[in-house]
């Protein structure tokens, strides 16, 4: 129903913001990551939104980036994951870290988030592990094809995502048609 709200940020805390637009102050619950990305109070801001409608409430959720909102929407579509837990997950890890945890089937990473227990972590992984992609199309964080396989292999060997991507990009700069094995070497 609402895609975004643009106006003056009149209040900002770790878990909520108020954006005044057209003389109306809109209160939005936000993940911690959005709070870090949004400007200071008194500044103009555009906040992406998702409206949660329940029998007893209507609540606007705000996001600083499209990938956060997309992941939130995906999470609330899972069994046993409501808006509050989805916000906790987004506050505890970036969408890229979440995608990596799902790819690695790392329930331990999800369990570090307040409110996510063993059963919930395993259920989230089970429901999402077969998905083609966790992040929206156009995300440049992870390469595709042979490069993606090489990055995954390097990460399995203990490199961090950024380091693995950097090394694969350097290897591809020398030979864009390199095989997975050549990229790993």
Burial 8-23 (b: 16+ CB within 10 A, else e): ebeebeeebbbbebee
What rounded mean pLDDT belongs to the chain? 85
Taking 50 as the threshold, does the pLDDT of residue 28 lie above it? yes
Of 131 and 97, the structure prediction assigns the larger pLDDT to 97
Q: How confident is the model at residue 110 (pLDDT cuts 50, 70, 90)?
A: very high
Flag whether pLDDT at 177 surpasses 70: yes
- Looking at the predicted structure, is the pLDDT value of residue 138 above 60? no
Match 């990460």 to its residue by tokens: 155
- Whole-angstrom Cα distance, residue 18 to residue 9? 6
* Cα–Cα distance for residue pair 15/88, rounded to 1 Å: 10
Which whole-number Å values give the CA distances from 55 to 45, 52, 108, 117, 173, in the listed order?
A: 30, 10, 34, 27, 55
Q: In the predicted model, what is the mean pLDDT of residues 73-95? A: 92
Q: Are the CB atoms for 78 and 123 separated by under 8 Å?
A: yes
CA atoms within 13 A on the CB side of 181: 0
């Amino acid at each position: 129903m609402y895609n975004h709200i643009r106006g003056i940020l009149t209040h900002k805390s770790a878990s909520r913001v108020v954006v005044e637009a057209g003389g109306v102050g809109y209160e939005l619950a936000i993940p911690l990551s959005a709070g870090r990305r949004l400007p200071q109070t008194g500044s103009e801001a555009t906040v992406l939104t998702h409206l949660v409608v329940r029998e007893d409430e209507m609540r606007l959720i705000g996001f600083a980036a499209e990938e956060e909102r997309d992941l939130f929407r995906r999470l609330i579509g899972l069994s046993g994951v409501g808006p509050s837990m989805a916000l906790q997950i987004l506050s505890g890890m970036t969408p890229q870290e979440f995608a990596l945890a799902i790819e690695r089937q790392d329930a331990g990473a999800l369990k570090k988030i307040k409110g996510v227990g063993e059963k919930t972590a395993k259920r989230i992984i089970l429901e999402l592990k077969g998905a083609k992609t966790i992040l929206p199309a156009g995300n440049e964080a992870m390469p595709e094809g042979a490069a993606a396989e090489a990055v995954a292999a390097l990460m399995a060997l203990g490199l961090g995502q950024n380091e693995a991507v950097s090394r694969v990009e350097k290897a591809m700069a020398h030979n864009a048609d390199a095989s997975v094995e050549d990229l790993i070497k």
